[in-house]
Every structure is written in structure tokens, then in C-alpha cells.
A = this chain, B = another copy of it.
């Protein structure tokens, strides 16, 4: 099939598919007129690439995975891919931890601000008492 059909069948833009091919994630034959010619398996491959991207892998990382990732139909993970997944998991957990730290700092800032504004309100009410009834 040509790139347009692959694009519609996978929901990925033709531009992205060319990008994947240039990155070595996809292989395509060529028709006599130079058009890319993909086999049916390309649909699964593209979907697999999309899954990997959603898992947080970069194209470069995906490119380092050996052929075993595709020969197995995307369900079986060879040791290399397995380790890559574990590494990525650790990386994501680190990211989560960093974001949680950031969140906590923000919460602390907001809490301190709330306390300050409460004190300001008390001070204001005291002032009002003094000048009021």
C-alpha cells in the first residue's frame, strides 16, 4: 500500500510515517515511480511505534530496539526490549518524583500565602474594631 493508505489506516500523518521511516523504524519498498510501498505488516508496526511513543520512548530509543520487537508481533519482549522497558519505568518514576516535589513546593507556597492573608485579615479586623463601634 502507499503512504496515504497507511496513514488513514493507522491514524498517523504521512509526514510522521516518513519521519519514522527515516528514523529507521519502518522499512518500505519502492514502486517504479518512486512511491513508497508498504506491506500489510506496516500497519501493525506503525501502531506499535505509536504505542512505544505513548509509553514515553523517543524515536531514537525505539530505533535501538532490535528486530525481535517486531518479529514477535509486538507481544513478546526480548531481553533487550525488556530492559529498555524497565529503564523507562525507572525514568518515569523519577520524573513523577520530581513533579511531586515541585507540586509540594507549590502547595507550601500557597499555604504560606493563605496564612499570610489570614493574618492580614485579622490585622484589618483589629484595626476596624479600634475605629469602629
Residues of A within 8 A of B (CB): 54-56, 75-77, 82, 85-86, 88-89, 92-93, 95-96, 99-100, 102-103, 105-107, 109-110, 112-113, 116
Contacts and interface: CB of A to CB of B under 8 A. Distances in A.
Contact of A96 (B75, B77, B96, B109): B96
Contacts of A116: 75-77
A78 to B, nearest CB: 10
* Chain multiplicity (copies): 2
Nearest to A92: B103
Given A76-B113, A113-B82, A116-B76, A96 B93 contact: no
Contact of A99 (B75, B99, B112): B99
